[in-house]
Structure 1
Amino acid sequence: MSDNESLLNDVANGDKIALQRLYTVVFPKIHSFVLKNKGKQEDAEDVFQKALMQIIARYKVKGLSIESSFEAFLFTACRNLWRRELNKRKKVVTNQEVVELYNEAEDMTAATLEQEKWELFQEKLLELSENCKTLLKLFFKKTPYKDIVKQLRYNSDNVVRQRIFNCKSQLTKMITNDVRFKHLKEL
């Protein structure tokens, strides 16, 4: 059993030492991320707990394979949950006379689905050529085309645009051809 599998199994079974390790190692990073992104202490605690519950539920229901470190996986799940929460807050209109309904189970299901989509995207991104991975990472970081031209020594912005388009097309095709995509799309 790998370290990831062992830690995941320990956490899923409520091992206090494993949980304490996560609180010591990962929670400070989550706390810092949430505070830097319009959150409070309570928000960080909520996100951390929700992500742990989500991961444990997925592990117990259908198994879970983690390619990166468990700590990195947990941080990514927390980050995605917090971003989702921020987006949800933008859309909420508060009216004192209206009682808003909130369905925790529905929210957790949506967050889990979002995490599975992110994992599929990450997996397929890693299957691309090194050149495509580098180009798309720069593109996703919103690096200007002129900087990409200089950094990767392409001839022009047009060459970079064309190459990014081709890499995105490859990535999209790889994702849509995966059987998990069809399942995630139907949910």
Structure 2
Amino acid sequence: MPDKAAFLQAWEPDNTVPYPRAAWMAEYAAPAASYPEVDFLPIDMSVVYTAYLEDARFDLYSRIDLDMGRDGKLALAVVGAVPADKDEMLFCLDTGSGRILLLGVGDGTLELVNSTFKALTEFLYHFARFIDADTGGAGRALRAKDLRAKLKSIDPEALADRESWWSIALMQLEGTKG
């Protein structure tokens, strides 16, 4: 598990934004172990993640109560978005379980991204290190397979479905189509 200094080095100090870790841990039912050890997130991570939501429909850390019909409401907190689709695809913390879900804003779809908020930050850390070490196409596919193995050891659930967010991102790096 990387420490605070390692996260800052991978994400660069000017590319981070604090999130209300202590307040959320006190307010939300999500288990303490589901939270990252650090109280900040990257602002921008290439094509996989952004916390820069200016001019988007929702603000960073907005609370969304999603109507689940007979099951009641699912309380979510926005922790980022898909950079190319900030208005429609949001990364959200399930405040009850600590999972990170991808919310399709237009149609209310939900997809598991990571089994914990902590796992999301670790994935983003390793993805940043992958990007920093990238020298171009030669060797990228092999390095991406190594990255997949590392991420799978952190959160197997995130990669269990070949159509999941992380599976597709890694297939693109590996040069496969799925």
Instruction: Give the TM-score of the pair, scaled to structure 1.
Output: 0.33
Select the structure that is richer in strand. Answer: 2
Instruction: Give the TM-score of the pair, scaled to structure 2.
Output: 0.35
Larger Rg: 1
